[in-house]
């Protein structure tokens, strides 16, 4: 009985897990070849457009034309190889590999879907970013709130009410900026109610969040039915934020059209992702927030005002969610429809978990979900032989799969969801 206790953080997880991953890769590889590799005509190509529809770039990049059969076979083979290697040897971090396998699979799928046709890849990536925006904002709201220890699942309700407020105020005042301000204010107010319930009244936070969803959904539909239907032009017709092109940067091939040609709210989202990250990890305030979320009593004994920190975090999160709500109306279609958020608030929560309660991670995960969302639209356009309803399910199924794979390992802040009782 020699050896001291083994501390081996670098060891791959137990043999069983690694083998299961390998098996999963193998299955995916086989599926790739089976579903996408059959019935292909030789010589068929898929054309991936790499320029946006509108011409703003400095340089036109030639389209990427891939021969379908070889591409799919190659991708399938790569996945199979990775699977075999994983089974036999096991990689240091199977998660990164999972990303590679997923990428290959999706790329093979796209190649198959686009066979014989052309397909604007840049356009799709650009729309992924746009579609990811409300989810990312919802995720950021969740991060702000949960990092301080308060679970907020009512984001859906906040976004609906903010969307409504934005469009009504924008229509009435003819100012989109005032509409945005109204959305932020609405988000702050509803979040404040949640904060009172969760922090001061120490209510079960999931219940409080559910109440907010119900009231938010009901109230927004109520107001829409009561007032907006009769007076569309006076109350429900705001126009939307125009696309703003950032000079110079938008001319960068590929990245330019995706990141630097967007509406205001998208830019706000990008800025907020970076800002919240800096706020949480490099500022005095951020340290206190994280401390309160992990061990509120410790922070309390050092003189940090736990209640205040939680209130502010939740309300700031609510404001971010307000911007997310504004996206749906003044950032997208210029009018309010009942239930128009369609679960994006929840998907934002999944993105937050997948991103490990980290603003940049949440943003990246939202991009993934945005991709799934825009994928199903593209596939409908490509007339892929899968019923559209199933494609519409894609974002939700992806969310569930992601959660299943990740939750065991992602760790929320230790005091998340627990009301703080001052001794």
- Least Cβ distance, residue 48 to another protein (angstroms): 28
Q: Is 10 in the site for another protein (CB under 8 A)?
A: no
- Least Cβ distance, residue 277 to another protein (angstroms): 13
Q: Is 288 in the site for another protein (CB under 8 A)?
A: yes
Q: Is 93 in the site for another protein (CB under 8 A)?
A: no
Q: Is 282 in the site for another protein (CB under 8 A)?
A: yes
Q: Which two tokens stand for residue 234?
A: 């006076």
- Residue 278's CB is within 10 A of a number of other CB atoms, namely 11
Question: Between 310 and 339, how does the x/- string for binding to another protein read (CB under 8 A)?
Answer: ------------------------------
State which residue, 149 or 256, has the beta carbon closest to another protein.
149
Write out the DSSP string of 284-345: HHHHHHHHHHH-HHHHHHTT--HHHHHHHHHHHHHHHHHHHHHHHIIIIISS--TTTTTTHH
Position among 141, 153, 268, 375 found at the interface with another protein (CB under 8 A) = 153
Q: Is 13 in the site for another protein (CB under 8 A)?
A: yes
Give me the half-sphere count of Cα atoms (radius 13 Å) on the Cβ side of residue 321: 38
Write out the DSSP string of 93-160: -HHHHHHHHHHHHHHHHHHHHTTTSEEEHHHHHHHHHHHHHHHHHHHHHHHHHHHTT----THHHHHH
Helix 359-381, helix 264-282: angle, nearest 10: 150
State which residue, 38 or 284, has the beta carbon closest to another protein.
284
Give the strand order in the sheet containing 45-49: 64-67, 45-49, 118-120
Q: Is 287 in the site for another protein (CB under 8 A)?
A: yes
Question: Between 159 and 178, how does the x/- string for binding to another protein read (CB under 8 A)?
Answer: --------------------
Residues 6+ positions from 58 with CB-CB distance below 8 Å: 251, 252, 253
Q: d(Cα 347, Cα 325) in Å, to the nearest integer? A: 14
Coil, helix or strand for 236? coil
State which residue, 115 or 147, has the beta carbon closest to another protein.
147
Q: d(Cα 118, Cα 382) in Å, to the nearest integer? A: 9
- Least Cβ distance, residue 286 to another protein (angstroms): 8
Q: d(Cα 359, Cα 352) in Å, to the nearest integer? A: 8
Tell me which stretch binds another protein (CB under 8 A): 5-13, 100-108, 238-246, 256-264: 5-13
Question: Between 54 and 83, how does the x/- string for binding to another protein read (CB under 8 A)?
Answer: ------------------------------
Question: Between 190 and 219, how does the x/- string for binding to another protein read (CB under 8 A)?
Answer: -------x---x-xx-xxx-xxxxxxxxxx
Position among 88, 225, 232, 308 found at the interface with another protein (CB under 8 A) = 225
- Least Cβ distance, residue 154 to another protein (angstroms): 10
State which residue, 252 or 279, has the beta carbon closest to another protein.
279
- First-to-final CA distance of the chain: 45
Q: In angstroms, what CA-CA distances link 279 with 142, 199, 245, 273, 297?
A: 15, 22, 27, 10, 22
State which residue, 271 or 393, has the beta carbon closest to another protein.
393
- Least Cβ distance, residue 9 to another protein (angstroms): 8
49 forms bridges with which residues in the sheet?
Answer: 120
State which residue, 69 or 186, has the beta carbon closest to another protein.
186
Q: Is 104 in the site for another protein (CB under 8 A)?
A: no
Sites for another protein among residues 392-411 (CB under 8 A): 392-393, 396-397, 399-400, 403-405, 407-408
Q: Looking at residue 241, what DSSP letter applies?
A: P
Q: Is 90 in the site for another protein (CB under 8 A)?
A: no
């Amino acid at each position: 009985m020699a050896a001291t206790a083994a501390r081996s953080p670098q060891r791959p997880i137990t043999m069983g897990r690694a083998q299961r991953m390998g098996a999963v890769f193998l299955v995916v590889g086989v599926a790739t070849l089976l579903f996408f590799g059959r019935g292909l005509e030789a010589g068929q190509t898929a054309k991936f457009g790499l320029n946006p529809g509108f011409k703003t770039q400095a340089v036109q990049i030639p389209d990427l034309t891939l021969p379908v059969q070889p591409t799919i076979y190659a991708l399938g083979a790569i996945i199979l190889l990775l699977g075999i290697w994983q089974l036999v040897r096991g990689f240091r971090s199977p998660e990164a590999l999972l990303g590679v396998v997923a990428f290959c699979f999706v790329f093979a799928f796209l190649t198959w879907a686009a066979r014989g046709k052309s397909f604007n890849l840049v356009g799709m990536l650009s729309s992924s970013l746009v579609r990811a925006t409300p989810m990312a904002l919802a995720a950021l709201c969740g991060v702000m709130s949960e990092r301080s220890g308060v679970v907020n699942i009512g984001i859906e309700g906040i976004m609906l009410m903010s969307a409504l407020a934005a469009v009504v105020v924008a229509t009435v005042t003819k100012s989109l900026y005032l509409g945005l301000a109204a959305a932020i204010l609405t988000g702050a107010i509803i979040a404040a109610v949640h904060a009172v319930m969760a922090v001061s009244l120490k209510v079960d936070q999931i219940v409080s969040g559910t109440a907010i969803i119900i009231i938010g959904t009901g109230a927004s539909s109520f107001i829409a039915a009561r007032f907006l239907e009769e007076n569309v032009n006076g109350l429900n017709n705001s126009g939307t934020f125009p696309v703003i092109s950032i000079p110079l940067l938008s001319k960068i091939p590929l990245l330019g059209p995706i990141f630097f040609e967007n509406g205001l709210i998208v830019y706000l989202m990008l800025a907020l992702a970076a800002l919240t990250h800096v706020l949480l990890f490099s500022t005095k305030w951020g340290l206190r927030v994280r401390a309160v979320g992990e061990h509120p009593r410790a922070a309390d004994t050092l003189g940090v005002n736990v209640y205040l920190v939680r209130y502010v975090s939740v309300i700031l999160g609510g404001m971010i969610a307000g911007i997310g709500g504004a996206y749906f109306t003044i950032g997208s279609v210029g009018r309010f429809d009942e239930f128009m958020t369609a679960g994006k608030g929840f998907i934002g929560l999944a993105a937050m978990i997948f991103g490990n309660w980290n603003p940049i991670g949440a943003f990246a995960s939202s991009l993934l979900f945005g991709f799934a969302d825009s994928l199903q639209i593209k596939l409908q356009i490509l007339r892929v032989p899968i019923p559209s309803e199933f494609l519409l399910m894609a974002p939700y199924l992806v969310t569930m799969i992601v959660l299943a794979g990740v939750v065991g390992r992602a760790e929320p802040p230790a005091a998340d969801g627990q009301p703080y009782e001052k001794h």
